[in-house]
Amino acid sequence: MWFKDLFGIKKRAGLPFFLYSTLTKSKEEFTQPRYVRSVRMYNCGPTVYDTSHIGNLRSYVFADLVRRTLEYNGFSVKQVINITDFGHLSSDADSGQDKMSAALKREGLELTLENMRMLADRYIEEFYRDLKQLNIGTERILFPRASDHIAGEIAMIRTLEEKSYTYTGADGVYFDTSRFSEYGKLGDINISGLQEGARVAAAEDKRRPTDFLLWKKDERIGWDSPWGKGFPGWHIECSAMVNATLGKQIDIHTGGIDLMPTHHNNEIAQSESATGKRPFSRFWLHHEFLNIQDEKISKSVGNMINLPTLVEKGYHPISLRYLFLGAHYRSPLNFTWEALDAAQTSYLKLRRLVDAEKNEGRPPSEWQRKIHERFNDDLDTAGALGAMWEMIKGKKLSGATIKAGILDADQVFGLGLGKPDELADSLCQKTFGVPVELSELPERVQTLVEAREAARKEKKWEQADSLRKDLQKMNYAIEDTSEGPRLFRKE
Ligand code: AMP
Ligand code: ZN
């Protein structure tokens, strides 16, 4: 049932929607966006100096799940994922090299803006391809590029300068965090602890370890500015891009947990100081890492796996999405090939179930509620998956009703069930076998199938299961649909 609230927002009745915000360290109800029309959501995006690994992709699947849950709850969403194609230094302490410049060196390319753009283009294409393969609708997302927003970035630094939030050193312009009394409020950063470790901190002219570069001077590459040639810092890029695409204040900001202490606290300090408006973002959502053997997947550890590698190994990209759904986003997730195998089998089973049934049912309301209560409880996708499988295995609903229930839940899961997909079809055949007509099979197979049907009708589940196993030994798999059993022969 739907109703409209005071603002005309269509809502599902009786289901409050909670999200855990790092800012308040609590689950808060999302009731309405700041601006009536739509929820404004910004997701920190990729630094395009290399191919994204599957850990990075957890970030965008998570953002897509937030979007889908909002939409299911009746909100429309304006979503932005930025592209960092400049200014992301290899260390958060403002030392090290710009990651894009390092990538040019790696590729043997001359340090020019044109080469930088060309290299970024390559990884942006790959990024869009990865998103599409994970069923993330790129056409509905805005992807601003840091190097296209230089004017806005310079303008924001000037504003901060005019308001005396900056100082200039030999290597660039710094944000003076002592001027922002709430610095570190996200995640309660221990500032005094940082001050004690100050001497370990990197950049030369920095007055305190929490200060950070807004503009990095560089004679070799970059853009002209009031502070000389150079380029903007990674943090100001995000603040300026939020401002340019979504406005001064937004509803939701997301990113990996590693971005929370520095990058996101810096974004808050810059944006709230420049605009004078708080809070910069109402909700701050952070997802945990994807690990391998309890170690974060990252380029520096050298344990990277990319989406194309999974496909080469015979996996469907959506199996990775299914794997992500099985863990809460605020829990670290260990990647193993066995876990991916299991995710793929479950995903393909769902496809089979949906494809075998007609579109004649309506979602069963009690289960629908159970499943969406899980989604609305801070995106408990694992709980929602559990509830959905319970609904499927309950043996109480018709096949068509179950299909409708699965498709309803898939509006949030985003597995793209029911959509034509050749790769999924061929993987289904490999995993479950080729469909065969019962009448064309040897008599003893037909007899076993009939005996199993009879046992099922009499609710003799154990006997039915044992007959299913006999069929499996003969390389036949059986699936029950509303129109009777379907048989598959395994090669
Ligand atoms: P980057 O391209 O390095 O700027 O990172 C893009 C996004 O991926 C950020 O939100 C990071 O927090 C996130 N990220 C990086 N490594 C992992 C990982 N192993 N698991 C989950 N997210 C990650
Ligand atoms: Zn960012």
Q: What is the pLDDT of residue 365?
A: 95
Please tell me if the CB atom of residue 297 comes closer than 6 angstroms to any atom of ligand 1: yes
Give the residue, out of 59, 263, 295, 333, with the most ligand 1 atoms within 8 A of its beta carbon, to mutate for a pocket test. Answer: 59
Tell me if 55 is assigned to some domain: yes
Assessment of whether the complete model's pTM goes beyond 0.85: yes
Q: Which of 241, 263, 287 is the last residue of a domain?
A: 287
| Residue 469 lies in domain | 433-491
> What is the model's pLDDT at position 84?
95
Residue 432 CB: number of other CB atoms within 10 A? Answer: 20
Residue 260 pairs with which residues in a beta bridge?
none
Ligand closest to Cα of 240 equals 2
Average pLDDT over residues 401-427: 97
In angstroms, the CA 60 to CA 287 distance is: 10
With a 6 A CB cut-off, is 259 part of the ligand 1 pocket? yes
User: For the segment 79-115, what is each residue's pLDDT rounded down to a tens digit?
Assistant: 999 999 988 887 776 777 888 888 888 999 999 999 9
Residue 481: per-residue pLDDT: 78
Output the pLDDT for position 200: 43
325-364 pLDDT, tens digit per residue, is: 999 999 999 999 999 999 999 999 999 999 988 888 899 9
Tell me, using a 6 A CB cutoff, whether residue 51 lines ligand 1: no
Residue 53 within any structural domain of the chain: yes
Q: Which band of pLDDT confidence, cut at 50, 70 and 90, is reported for residue 201? A: very low
Q: 5-19, 37-51, 395-409: lowest mean pLDDT where?
A: 5-19
Cα 289 to ligand 1 centre (Å)? 8
What is the band of 4 on the pLDDT scale with cuts at 50, 70, 90? low
Q: Tell me the average pLDDT across 373-390.
A: 98
CB-proximal residues (5 Å) to ion ligand 2: 44, 238
pLDDT band at 190 (very low <50, low <70, confident <90, very high): confident
* Contact between 178 and 291 (Cβ < 8 Å): no
Residue 14: which pLDDT band, with cuts at 50, 70 and 90?
A: low
Mode of pairing for the β-strands spanning 250-256 and 281-287? parallel
Domain assignment present for 376: no
Q: CA-to-CA distance for 210 and 121, rounded, in angstroms?
A: 33
Residue 215 included in any domain = yes
Q: Tell me if residue 40 falls in helix, strand or coil.
A: strand
Sequence letter at residue 256: G
Nearest listed ligand to the Cα of residue 127: 1
Give a yes or no: residue 423 inside a domain: no
CA-nearest residue, atom 18 of ligand 1: 55
**Domain boundary, last residue among 287, 315, 343:** 287
Length of the chain: 491
Per-residue pLDDT at 284: 98
440-480 pLDDT, tens digit each: 889 999 999 999 999 998 999 999 999 999 999 999 988 88
Instruction: Label residues 38-74 b or e (16+ Cβ within 10 Å = b).
Output: bbbbbbbbbbbbbbbbbbbbbbbbbbbbbbbbbebbe
pLDDT at 491: 75
Confidence of residue 197 (pLDDT cuts 50, 70, 90): very low
Whether residue 420 lies inside any domain: the answer is no
Average pLDDT, the chain: 92
Number of domains the chain contains:
2
Task: State pLDDT tens for residues 302-332.
Answer: 888 999 999 999 999 999 999 999 999 999 9
Domain stop point among 261, 287, 313:
287
Closest CA to 379 of 61, 54, 45: 61
Specify the pLDDT at position 199. Answer: 43
pLDDT of residue 483: 77
Pairing of strands 39-43, 250-256: parallel
Quick check: 299 pLDDT over 80? no
In a domain, 329, yes or no: no
Percent composition of the chain: helix, strand, coil (DSSP 3-state, to 5): 45, 20, 35
Is the CB of residue 256 below 6 angstroms from any atom belonging to ligand 1?
Answer: yes
- Per-residue confidence band for 194, with pLDDT thresholds at 50, 70 and 90: low
CATH of the domain at 27: 3.40.50.620
How far apart, in whole angstroms, are the C-alpha atoms of residue 79 and residue 71? 12
- The Å distance, Cα 256 to ligand 1 centre, comes to 6
291 CA to centre of ligand 2 in angstroms: 21
Tell me which of 438 and 172 has the higher pLDDT.
172
Q: Is 82 in the pocket of ligand 1 (CB under 6 A)?
A: no
Give Cα separations from 435 to 333, 380, 447, 490 (angstroms). Answer: 36, 35, 18, 9
Residue 447 half-sphere exposure, CB side, CA atoms within 13 Å? 3
Residue 293 within any structural domain of the chain = no
Average pLDDT over residues 155-162: 98
